[in-house]
A and B are shown apart, each in its own frame.
Chain A
Amino acid sequence: MEAAVVNTGTEGKTWGGGNRPLKASYGKMMMWFFIVSDALTFSGFIASYGFSRFKFIDAWPIADEVFTHIPFVHGNYPMYYVAFMTFILIFSSVTMVLAVDAGHHMKKNKVILYMFLTIIGGLIFVGSQAWEWKTFIKGNYGAVETKGGQIIQFFNKDGERVALKDFALPVHTERTTQQKNTGIWYQKEKSLPTVSLSEIKKGFLANDNLVARTQYLDEDGKPIVLSRQESVALMNNDAKGVVEGANLIHNEYGHPLFADFFFFITGFHGFHVFSGVVINIIIFINVILGTYERRKSYEMVEKVGLYWHFVDLVWVFVFTVFYLV
């Protein structure tokens, strides 16, 4: 069939088409544009986190007091575990960029090795994040919520944090978890806290050594600890419920929005890491099968590499705004 080609008379001119002024392939450029748009999405989340934080700037939880755990170790170690996670992610970025480099030199076995290490790093990171979520949800000391939704945490006079179960005194009650068949409109309730509010109140009033700490911060950025008298008044007048751990509605560490943003932003980032691992595995299999050897170009590795580095880039910012600042 005759091709219906019309000469435009612009062949060879700048506007004649076929130019690649950015000297990047279509796929790579689209990956960059996707990354820009995804970066804007994350900025939206992080900026709204900043908005809420500035809105409650005098009552925001201190990250050092929230994330204090290391797996298999007891004690108070702020920051160390999340620093470890950061290193894992940066290191998996390094192996990724080494894989890209090996791809440029068409060294298949090196690409396989480095991509494998990258995938392992990604899995360790996702696993660590899951563990961090578990610890955060489970909670540590427990707290009492007031009628206004403020969080009260308990300290002894030496300034040490005290867990609810350590001072609550037993009160004889018949309160049981409401089941679906006994509830109004067939609503069941979530499991009851391990200690009830009346037990906490009784224990708190009986022990003169305990004081309450509010979620409000003083000029030095430290939460305000009430005197014994103020604490007793607060417990008697305003205490409303027991909070153990954190979910989207209640948060024993302080303002519920902190937990909401933590779940949302680290969750969204974790989902990116997870999808990055899946994409990496797909490309990894292709590398083993020799697809890119036949294609004579490992550019696909470079494209997933871009995505993987972007995930690392986002983590750098999440790390700063959630754990450092």
Chain B
Amino acid sequence: MAHDNHNLAIFRGKIKFKNNQQKIWGVFILLSIITIVEVALGIIKPEVLTHNHLFSLKILNWIFLTLTVVKAYYITWDFMHMRDEVKFLRRVVVWTAVFLILYLVYMLLEEGSYIFDVYKEGFIKFNF
């Protein structure tokens, strides 16, 4: 990475910082806002969000998970300088992790809820 060759635009170029320090503080403010929103939602737990489900997961949890991925994106892209790396270094790191993790998470969550059904519907007496 060339030293003074930072990509200083975030939000697809909507916000452009003057220098790298400014970008760092800008991203910090963004991450702080996201964290504050998460904590506020976690404490208030609005009923609209906890009682409605999308694909059998609460809307609130979808929001939490989405915000987490957004945070992870900015940490990787701006703090870890992924934005300034070559396209294929980015792909080698991110795609490998993303595909393997999605597969792993899908398998384990699917099997977990299967076992839950066995406990619930099956002949095992569990509640005593």
Question: Are A316 and B75 in touch, CB under 8 angstroms?
Answer: yes
Interface size on A, residues (CB 8 A): 64
Report B26-62 CB contacts with A as 1/0, cut-off 8 Å: 0010011001101101110000001100000000010
Given contacts A24-B89, A47-B105, A94-B28, contact A40 B112 (CB under 8 A): no
Inter-subunit contact B126/A148 (CB<8 Å): yes
Complex partner residue of A146 from B20, B101, B128, CB under 8 angstroms: B128
Type the 1/0 row for A145-186, where 1 means its CB is closer than 8 Å to any CB of B: 011101000000000000000000000000000000000000
Among A55, A58, A80, chain B packs the most CB atoms within 10 A around the CB of: A55
Q: Which 6 A-B pairs have the closest CB atoms?
A: A54-B112, A51-B112, A51-B108, A148-B128, A22-B89, A320-B68
Contact yes or no, B35 A90, CB < 8 A: yes
Other than the given A33-B93, A312-B75, A320-B64, 20 more pairs (CB < 8 A) read A21-B86, A22-B89, A24-B1, A24-B86, A35-B93, A51-B111, A56-B116, A57-B112, A58-B116, A83-B36, A87-B32, A94-B79, A100-B81, A101-B20, A101-B24, A216-B127, A302-B81, A317-B68, A319-B68, A320-B68
**CB closest chain-B residue, reference A237:** B128
Asked if A104 is at the interface (CB within 8 A of a chain B CB), the reply is yes
Question: A204: shortest Cβ distance to chain B, in Å?
Answer: 19
Chain B residues whose C-beta falls within 8 Å of the C-beta of A83 in the assembled complex: 35-36, 39
Which B residues touch A91, using CB under 8 A? 28
Cα A247 to Cα B120 with chains together (Å): 27
Flag if B42 contacts A64 (CB, 8 Å): yes
Q: A280 interface residue, CB < 8 Å from B?
A: no
Tell me the minimal C-beta distance from A299 to chain B in angstroms. Answer: 10
Residue of A nearest to B88 (CB): A22
A-B contact pairs, 10 of them (CB 8 A): A22-B85, A24-B85, A40-B100, A43-B97, A55-B119, A58-B120, A83-B35, A87-B32, A104-B3, A316-B68
Q: How far is the CA of A306 from the CA of B15 in the complex (A)?
A: 24
List B contacts of A146 (CB < 8 A). Answer: 128
CB of A309 closer than 8 Å to a CB of B: yes
Q: Is the CB of A316 within 8 A of B43?
A: no
- For residue A196, CB closer than 8 A to chain B, the reply is no
| Interfacial residues of chain B within 54-112, with CB under 8 A of chain A in the complex | 61, 64-65, 68, 71-72, 75-76, 78-81, 85-86, 88-89, 92-93, 96-97, 100-101, 104-105, 107-109, 111-112
Return chain B residues, CB-CB under 8 Å to A48: 108
Q: Tell which of A57, A302, A310, A316 has the most Cβ of chain B within 10 Å.
A: A316
The reply on A295 being an interface residue by CB < 8 A is no
**Contact: A50 with B112, CB < 8 Å?**
yes
Q: Which of A22-57 contact B (CB under 8 A)?
A: 22-24, 29, 32-33, 35-36, 39-40, 43-44, 47-48, 50-57
Instruction: Please report A residues at the B interface, Cβ cutoff 8 Å.
Output: 21-24, 29, 32-33, 35-36, 39-40, 43-44, 47-48, 50-58, 64, 78-80, 83, 86-87, 90-91, 93-94, 96-98, 100-101, 104-105, 146-148, 150, 216, 220-221, 238, 302, 305-306, 309-310, 312-313, 316-317, 319-320, 323-325
Chain A residues, CB < 8 A from B96: 36
Q: Look across to chain B and name the residue whose beta carbon is closest to the beta carbon of A46.
A: B105
CB neighbours (8 Å) of B35 from chain A are 83, 86-87, 90
Chain B residue numbers with a CB within 8 Å of A98 are: 21, 24
The complex places the Cα of A301 from the Cα of B21 at a distance, in Å, of: 16
Is there contact, CB below 8 Å, between B93 and A32? Answer: yes
Q: A90-B32, A90-B35, A104-B3 are known contacts. Are A57 and B116 too (CB-CB below 8 A)?
A: yes
Q: How far is the CA of A129 from the CA of B117 in the complex (A)?
A: 35
